[in-house]
Amino acid sequence: MSSDVTYQDVKSKVDELPPDYLSKVLEYIEFLMHKHEEAEEPEQRVAEEQTPYRVVAKLGGILKDYPISEQDIAEARKEMSKGFGEIDL
């Protein structure tokens, strides 16, 4: 099928269909519209698929001006994991 398809070409083909096919044509058009919308916003779609929550803000680089060392990170990890897996009965 060529890319020189016009609205009239599509309309004439739809007019030739039996009326009970119109709902299928409409479903397909809605599918194509949804597919087009997804192609325009891939980052948003990926974020929505990964979490049921709406992404409010991107936090990348939020701590770039803070002097956090590897030692600080190691100490924080050690403190957070202290007592992990222990059960109080």
Q: pLDDT by residue (tens digit) across 21-78?
A: 999 999 999 998 888 887 776 665 555 566 666 667 777 788 888 888 999 999 999 9
Q: pLDDT by residue (tens digit) across 77-89?
A: 999 888 787 776 6
Cβ atoms of residues 25 and 14 within 8 Å: yes
* C-alpha span between 30 and 70 (Å, rounded): 52
Q: Which residues contact 22 (CB under 8 A, 6 or more apart)?
A: 14
For residue 33, the tally of other CB atoms under 10 A from its CB is: 10
pTM of the complete model beyond 0.95: no
pLDDT the model gives residue 49 = 62
pLDDT the model gives residue 16 = 93
Cβ atoms of residues 38 and 45 within 8 Å: yes
Distances 69 to 5, 59, 62, 66, 80 between C-alpha atoms, Å: 61, 19, 15, 9, 17
